[in-house]
C-alpha cells in the first residue's frame, strides 16, 4: 500500500490491517510516535492526518491510504524546530518525554487551526493525552510561550 507520510509517498509492504502505529515504527522507522496503551486511551500514538490529531495504535494502516500523514518527525521544517517544540525545550516541559510526541501533535493541530488558543481550547486538545510525570504545568507554560512568540512575530513589521 502507498502512504503519504511527512510529505513523501512511501510504499509499505505490510498487512493492511496492521495498525498504523506499527507500520510507522516497524516498516518506516519513524519511532517518535509511541505505543502507550494500544486502546486509544492515552494519546501517545497521535499523528496528524489531514491536519487533525488522530490516534494510530488501533486503526488499520489501510484506513490512511490517500490521506496526508505527519508524524512528530515531520513537525520541524528544514531542520528548524516548530515554535511549540522550541517552547517545550525552553520551558523544560518534558520530564520522561514519553508522552511529548503525542501531546505536541495535538498542540500542532490546535495551533494550525488557531494561533492564539485559549485555555479551554488547549484543555480540550489535551483531554485525551496522559502524562504521568507531572510536567503538565510546564507544558501549559510552553503553550502560552509559543502563542506569545507567534503573536509577536505576526505583530512585527
- pLDDT (tens digit per residue) in 19-43: 999 999 999 999 999 999 999 999 9
**Domain 2-74 is of which CATH architecture?**
Roll (3.10)
Domain with CATH 1.10.150.120 in the chain: 83-155
Domain with CATH 3.10.20.30 in the chain: 2-74
Query: What percent of the chain has a predicted confidence (pLDDT) above 70?
Result: 100
Distances in Å between the Cα of 151 and the Cα atoms of 114, 132, 155 are: 11, 31, 6
CATH pick for 83-155 out of 1.20.1070.10, 3.40.50.300, 3.40.630.30, 1.10.150.120: 1.10.150.120
Instruction: Say if residue 13 is exposed, middle or buried (CB neighbours under 10 Å; 0-12, 13-18, 19+).
Output: exposed
- pLDDT (tens digit per residue) in 51-78: 999 999 999 999 999 999 999 999 999 9
Q: pLDDT category, 44, cuts 50, 70, 90?
A: very high
Q: pLDDT category, 115, cuts 50, 70, 90?
A: confident
Whether the pLDDT of residue 157 is over 80: the answer is no
The span from the CA of 81 to the CA of 1, in Å, is 30
Amino acid at each position: 500500500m502507498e502512504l503519504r507520510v511527512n510529505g513523501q509517498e512511501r510504499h509499505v509492504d505490510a498487512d493492511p490491517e496492521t495498525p498504523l502505529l506499527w507500520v510507522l515504527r516497524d516498516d518506516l522507522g519513524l519511532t517518535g510516535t509511541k505505543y502507550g496503551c494500544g486502546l486509544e486511551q492515552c494519546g501517545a500514538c497521535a499523528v496528524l492526518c489531514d491536519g487533525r490529531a488522530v490516534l494510530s495504535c488501533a486503526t488499520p494502516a489501510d484506513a490512511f491510504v490517500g490521506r496526508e500523514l505527519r508524524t512528530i518527525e515531520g513537525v520541524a521544517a528544514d531542520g528548524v524546530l516548530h515554535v511549540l517544540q522550541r517552547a517545550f525545550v525552553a520551558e523544560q516541559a518534558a520530564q520522561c518525554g514519553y508522552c511529548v510526541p503525542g501531546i505536541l501533535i495535538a498542540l500542532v493541530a490546535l495551533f494550525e487551526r488557531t494561533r492564539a488558543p485559549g485555555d479551554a481550547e488547549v484543555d480540550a486538545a489535551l483531554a485525551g493525552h496522559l502524562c504521568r510525570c507531572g510536567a503538565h504545568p510546564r507544558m501549559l507554560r510552553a503553550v502560552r510561550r509559543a502563542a506569545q512568540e507567534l503573536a509577536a512575530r505576526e505583530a512585527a513589521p
